[in-house]
Amino acid sequence: MKWITRERPKIDRIACPWLIKRFVDASAQIIYVPYEKVERLAKELDAIPFDIPGAEYSHYDDRCTFDFIIQKHQLQDEALDRIADIVRGADTDRHDMAPQASGLWAIFAGLSYNIKDDQELLELGMIIYDGMYSWAKHLYTTKHTQAPVEKILMEVFRKYIEQSALKKTPDWAIELKEMMQDQIDTNLNLSLQQASKELDINPAYLSREFSKYFENLSFGEYIRKMRIEKAIQLMQTTSYSLTEIAYLTGFSDQSHFTRIFKKFTGKNPLAYKKSWAKEKDDSDKE
């Protein structure tokens, strides 16, 4: 069976194919395509869409697609439940859910940065998740630290994590971050008023509290930051022109895009693109 999702995977879109191929459909063919093509190609290829809004195999409430597959296919395995906590924590930026969540995010964020071929990334991801499953099945109680001093340090670290967890991110901030992430491939035109209406929160309160949970940035600044990050990704992974990239990332015109891009990166888009291309060319020659 064919399974299809959006391109450039990091957490759920690597974890889910591993889960599908190892426990649901051993002969599964995983297809990664641009977000806007998923629905059309799913019909044309008779493929099952997953981890996209509106699909059956997707996020529900505070659960990610990995959780849904376990429930949907009645996979009764404590090791998978342990991995699910880690995947959910990494995929939803709730690293307090499992001590391994932040490490999983760091690993795949870095690998995604280095590996631009999604199938190559998935192949490596399959090996990593195989190792994680062996740990979750047989080794999860084994501790690497044995010396007394190391145990004391780990205990101090654990208490720090527990205290930090008490400062829980409110549900509205988690939901808003998911809303923004869902829109990152569709121009990210979410306004403060739309967000407040969707979350059923007073817009004045949302505006006042927003920066506490979003890198000390205002709503507008954070949206622009996400757009610039998306623009940089498109520069590095596609052949789109700067005008096309400006449109795809929701900027009203080229001059607006250039001004905001320079504010966040210190360079105008053309200079940044040339600089990155030169660095890549130099790296390829080494």
Give the ranges where the chain is alpha helix by DSSP (H): 12-19, 38-44, 65-72, 78-91, 101-114, 118-134, 148-166, 171-183, 192-199, 203-213, 219-237, 242-248, 254-265, 269-285
Q: Write down the mean pLDDT value for the chain.
A: 86
Phi and psi at residue 250, to the nearest 5° = 85, 15
Pairing of strands 29-33, 2-6: parallel
Residue 286 confidence (pLDDT): 57
Residue 165 confidence (pLDDT): 52
Tokens of 216: 């000390």
- Rounded Cα–Cα distance for residues 130 and 133 (Å): 5
Task: List the 47-49 sheet strands across, edge first.
Answer: 29-33, 2-6, 47-49
Residue 199 confidence (pLDDT): 86
Domains of the chain, residue spans: 2-139, 171-285
Position 42 confidence tier, pLDDT thresholds 50, 70, 90: very high
Q: Where is mean pLDDT largest: 25-34, 159-168, 226-235?
A: 25-34
Position 109 confidence tier, pLDDT thresholds 50, 70, 90: very high
Of 124-128, 142-146, 167-171, 258-262, where does mean pLDDT reach its minimum?
142-146
Residue 159 confidence (pLDDT): 62
Q: If you write DSSP's letter for every residue of 123-185 in order, what string do you get?
A: HHHHHHHHHHHHIIIIITT--S--SHHHHHHHHHHHHHHHHHHHSPPPHHHHHHHHHHHHHTT
The answer as to CATH 1.10.10.60 being correct for domain 171-285 is yes
137 has a pLDDT exceeding 80? yes
- Dump pLDDT digits (tens) for 258-276: 988 998 889 999 998 888 8
151 has a pLDDT exceeding 90? no
Identify which has the larger pLDDT, 124 or 173.
Answer: 124
Tokens of 205: 């309160």
- Rounded Cα–Cα distance for residues 155 and 163 (Å): 12
